[in-house]
């Protein structure tokens, strides 16, 4: 089918044609008080035509994949190209010399009866409710995500990639001595047997109990330790600083920092699209460029920006395989773990703050200079041990200072559903605004 589309586009006068096709299949189940509240399935296929006419690159998204709709789309693309007055690099990629081999997850979630998935959710909810401090379970949810992406073009490129995973969580409402908190923990799975209602419930319970009976702390600088997931959040929110598009538009302080030390020695930040611990892997990006593991920060030194075909040409560099979703971003961002376990990371801290919750990650971050001011919750560290829950405080600092002041990196590498991974990290002192002195 797609080859016929390409032939049609070439006959209509386009110099190059590419078809970017996606299929997304999902299942979502929600349980409340032992009953199924929502069960939704979806299976959607779309295609985007990218074509070059008069050295101008134009595109059109199709939901109707009939021959008639495709014919009309090419006519509209020609009109759009004729209307364009700004010329940017019009590139249809012929392919990389080689592509990495991805170990695909072949587990068929459809082979598990829906009733088994519902039974798991009911058991998860029941196990969370069994804790004496849980007043209710607000939501218990299970989701599956399967996707296929195919790129085929007039230059001979023909690639396909897939992803396949599921995740589940329960949101518990915890109460103790009038203090009410929400707790949850997401379980990511590559096969259905990875789920365990009792163990998954305990993670949610541990998360909720850790927040109860919170006390405020005095306003001052504290040695601060980010949990693996929260430092992963910080890596994700600042990942745009590494974009070649941001560099081209002069919207990143790293513009002229290539080859310079921007983090402590021993800090290794990877973009690894092949990491099997992540929920999905990519052997190529949305432009058909091979995606391979690379260090963005190598032993504290910034190695260079992530590039699409366009920004690579603008900077006279090699594309890195990071064009996704119409922008540029990492394909598997993670901080290389260290060798210290959690107890080793905090054993020398007399007074500190262990961050387990962050609020306002986008509104409270200034990407132009790296400053941040975020609501945060967690646990007070006293004499090298976790002491008591901390009520919401304001945590502030500068991301570039954080990278240069890191005191220790844990061994507990953890990936979230977005594909970003991090271990626990001791970042040194940050200002915590709690009670006034």
Q: What pLDDT shows up at residue 118?
A: 98
| CA separation for the pair 5, 17 (Å, rounded) | 9
The 10 Å CB-count burial string (b at 16+, else e) for 352-388 is bbbbbbbeebeebbebeebebbbebbbbbbeeeebee
| CA separation for the pair 238, 93 (Å, rounded) | 29
CATH class of segment(s) 1-210: alpha beta
Q: What pLDDT shows up at residue 67?
A: 93
* Domain ranges (residues) in the chain: 1-210, 214-436
Q: What pLDDT shows up at residue 436?
A: 60
Tell me the β-bridge partners of 301. Answer: 261, 298
Among 23, 380, 63, 8, smallest CA distance to 224 is for 380
Among 25, 28, 17, 3, smallest CA distance to 59 is for 17
Structure tokens at 130: 């069994």
Q: What pLDDT shows up at residue 231?
A: 98
Task: Give the pTM.
Answer: 0.91
DSSP notation for 285-354: -TTS-B---EEEEETTEE---B--HHHHHHHT----S-EETTEE--SSEEEPP-SB-HHHHHTT-SEEEE
Among 6, 409, 371, 435, smallest CA distance to 222 is for 435
3-state helix, strand, coil in the chain (%, to 5): 25, 40, 35
DSSP secondary-structure letter at 110?
Answer: G
Residues 6+ apart with CB under 8 A from 207: 183, 184, 185, 356
Ordered per-residue pLDDT tens for the chain, 437 residues: 899 999 999 999 999 999 999 999 999 999 999 999 999 999 999 999 999 999 999 999 999 999 999 999 999 999 999 999 877 778 899 999 999 999 889 999 999 999 999 999 999 999 999 999 999 999 999 999 999 999 999 999 999 999 999 999 999 999 998 999 999 999 999 999 999 999 999 999 999 999 999 998 999 999 999 999 999 999 999 999 999 999 999 999 999 999 999 999 999 999 999 999 999 899 999 999 999 999 999 999 999 999 999 999 999 999 999 999 989 999 999 999 999 999 999 999 999 999 999 998 988 999 989 999 999 999 999 999 999 999 999 999 999 999 999 999 999 999 999 999 999 999 999 999 987 65
Distance of CA 248 to the CA centre of its chain: 23
Pairing of strands 220-226, 351-359: parallel
| CA separation for the pair 375, 309 (Å, rounded) | 38
Q: What pLDDT shows up at residue 90?
A: 84
Q: Terminal CA-to-CA distance of the chain, rounded, Å?
A: 71
Residues 6+ apart with CB under 8 A from 312: 244, 318, 319, 320
């Amino acid at each position: 089918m797609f080859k016929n589309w390409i032939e049609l586009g070439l006959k209509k006068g386009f110099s190059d044609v590419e078809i970017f096709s996606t299929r997304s299949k999902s299942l979502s189940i929600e349980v409340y008080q032992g009953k199924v509240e929502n069960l939704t399935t979806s299976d959607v296929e779309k295609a985007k035509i990218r074509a070059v006419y008069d050295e101008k690159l134009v595109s059109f998204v199709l939901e109707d994949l009939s021959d008639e709709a495709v014919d009309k789309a090419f006519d509209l693309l020609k009109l759009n190209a004729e209307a364009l007055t700004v010329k940017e690099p019009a590139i249809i990629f012929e392919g990389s010399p080689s592509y990495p081999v991805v170990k695909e997850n072949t587990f068929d979630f459809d082979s598990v009866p829906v009733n088994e998935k519902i039974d798991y959710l009911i058991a998860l909810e029941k196990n969370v409710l069994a804790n004496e401090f849980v007043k209710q379970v607000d939501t218990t949810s299970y989701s599956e995500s399967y996707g296929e992406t195919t790129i085929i073009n007039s230059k001979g490129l023909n690639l396909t990639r897939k992803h396949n995973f599921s995740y589940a969580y329960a949101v518990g409402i915890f109460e103790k001595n009038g203090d009410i908190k929400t707790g949850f923990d997401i379980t990511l799975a590559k096969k259905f047997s990875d789920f365990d209602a009792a163990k998954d419930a305990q993670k949610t319970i541990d998360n909720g109990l850790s927040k109860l009976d919170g006390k405020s702390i005095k306003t001052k600088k504290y040695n601060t330790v980010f949990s693996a997931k929260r430092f992963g959040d910080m890596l994700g929110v600042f990942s745009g600083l590494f974009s070649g598009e941001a560099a081209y538009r002069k919207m990143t302080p790293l513009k002229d920092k290539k080859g310079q030390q921007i983090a402590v020695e021993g800090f290794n930040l990877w973009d690894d699209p092949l990491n099997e611990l992540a929920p999905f892997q990519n052997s190529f990006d949305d432009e058909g460029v091979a995606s391979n593991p690379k260090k963005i920060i190598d032993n504290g030194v910034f190695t260079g920006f992530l590039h699409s075909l366009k920004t690579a040409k603008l900077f006279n560099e090699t594309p890195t395989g990071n064009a996704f979703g119409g922008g540029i971003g990492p394909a598997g961002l993670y901080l290389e773990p260290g060798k210290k376990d959690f107890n080793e990371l905090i054993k020398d801290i007399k007074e500190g703050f262990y961050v387990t919750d962050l609020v306002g990650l986008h509104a409270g971050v200034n990407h132009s200079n790296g400053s941040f001011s975020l609501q945060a919750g967690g646990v007070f560290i006293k004499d090298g041990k976790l002491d008591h829950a901390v009520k919401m405080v304001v945590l502030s600092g500068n991301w570039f200072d954080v990278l240069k002041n890191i005191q220790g990196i844990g061994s507990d590498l953890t990936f979230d559903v977005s594909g970003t991974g991090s271990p626990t990290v001791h970042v040194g002192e940050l200002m915590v605004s709690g009670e006034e002195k």
